[in-house]
Chain A
């Protein structure tokens, strides 16, 4: 079940060369590795763990150019997994409710906040409704993938992909509007 470092590295190098079969095998082999990694560090948070596993897989996929084949693969993978875990802690830490927030908003910068919200609506309006809803649920309201998928009545990976593609499309749009 747990694949050796050498095998993982060979698949990774194959994927870097454009071999999609090797890349698929690599990602599949990472699944149990990552689940074990997060279960050990975050016992009893299975929903959050599966989210993290998927986010890590996406990061491994999109940022594979930062892997240096001369170096150990597992160290690279664990560094990404660890970063994603810390980032998740930071994000959930941010959504802790603050009492009397409404009063604070009214007195301080409520207008700025609502302007930002209008900008956000305008940006998201350019996406497909499914992608916009997925981003809104996971990135703005702070729902977990499982909660958001249940609300939109779609599969979790479908939702994950929607978020990923939507963010990519947004980034391109923002970049183009800056050029």
Chain B
């Protein structure tokens, strides 16, 4: 009896759902998060003054190529885990391709440079803050994804939290490139990846609490 009443009330309010509503909502949450993250960056450390010039060079595209491809892989995995019946992490292993690519570039770069420069290339000028900042600017993006998840139905909360954190970290690193003047591949491979991994770890820790529904 009572369940029938519930059904009547639910069926009284049936707005249409657009095709691929899940993708749209994830994209919107991510986009708003990225905007918030960019705003936070511009108000704290600011964009690098030579950004326009840097965009004509190859280095910033090497960095963006790495972070954005990680971000796309993580977002696809997150979209999969947002559906209740998905049990697999999908093709998240594809994320190893940009990682391996950047590792190869790092080796090639180190091989070209004299060994006394290696430490300076690895640590750059900002290794102490880079990972932390990538993690911090990932938080607004993670919040945006949490908003997206309010209409999702993840059943593997820790995995979904981890991939959402990974996506937030990777897109945060993409935003952070607007500020970061570092040029060596080994720097990005180490400190960017560390910040992104921290964000994924954070997502895995808070996922089971914040993604419950």
Nearest-neighbour CB distance to chain A for B90, whole angstroms, equals: 14
Q: Which of A26-69 contact B (CB under 8 A)?
A: 27-28, 31, 50, 53-54, 57-59, 61-68
Assess whether B10 is in contact with A57, with CB atoms less than 8 Å apart.
yes
Contact with A along B1-30 (1 / 0, CB 8 A): 011111111111111110001100100000
Which of B7, B8, B13, B152 touches A66 (beta carbons < 8 Å)? B152
Contact residues of B: prevailing secondary structure: loop
Interface assignment of B151: CB less than 8 Å from any CB of chain A: yes
Which of B3, B7, B151, B212 touches A50 (beta carbons < 8 Å)? B3
- Contact A61:B10 (CB < 8 A) given known A18-B15, A66-B82: yes
Nearest-neighbour CB distance to chain A for B196, whole angstroms, equals: 25
Nearest-neighbour CB distance to chain A for B146, whole angstroms, equals: 11
Assess whether A23 is in contact with B84, with CB atoms less than 8 Å apart.
no
Assess whether B12 is in contact with A20, with CB atoms less than 8 Å apart.
yes
Contact with B along A55-92 (1 / 0, CB 8 A): 00111011111111001000110111011000100000
Which of B3, B11, B21 touches A24 (beta carbons < 8 Å)? B11
Interface assignment of B61: CB less than 8 Å from any CB of chain A: no
Which of B7, B82, B85, B152 touches A31 (beta carbons < 8 Å)? B7
Assess whether A64 is in contact with B17, with CB atoms less than 8 Å apart.
yes
Query: Which of A53, A66, A171 has its CB near the most chain B CB atoms (within 10 A)?
Result: A66
Nearest-neighbour CB distance to chain B for A18, whole angstroms, equals: 3
Interface assignment of A158: CB less than 8 Å from any CB of chain B: yes
Task: Other than A66-B153, A83-B84, give 13 A-B pairs with Cβ distance below 8 A.
Answer: A21-B11, A27-B7, A54-B3, A62-B151, A63-B213, A66-B82, A76-B83, A79-B155, A82-B155, A83-B153, A87-B212, A160-B2, A171-B150
What are 8 A-B interface contacts by the 8 Å CB criterion?
A54-B2, A57-B10, A63-B151, A66-B152, A79-B155, A83-B155, A87-B212, A161-B9
**Which A-B residue pairs are the 10 nearest by beta carbons?**
A18-B16, A24-B11, A79-B84, A65-B21, A157-B5, A156-B2, A20-B14, A79-B85, A157-B6, A157-B2
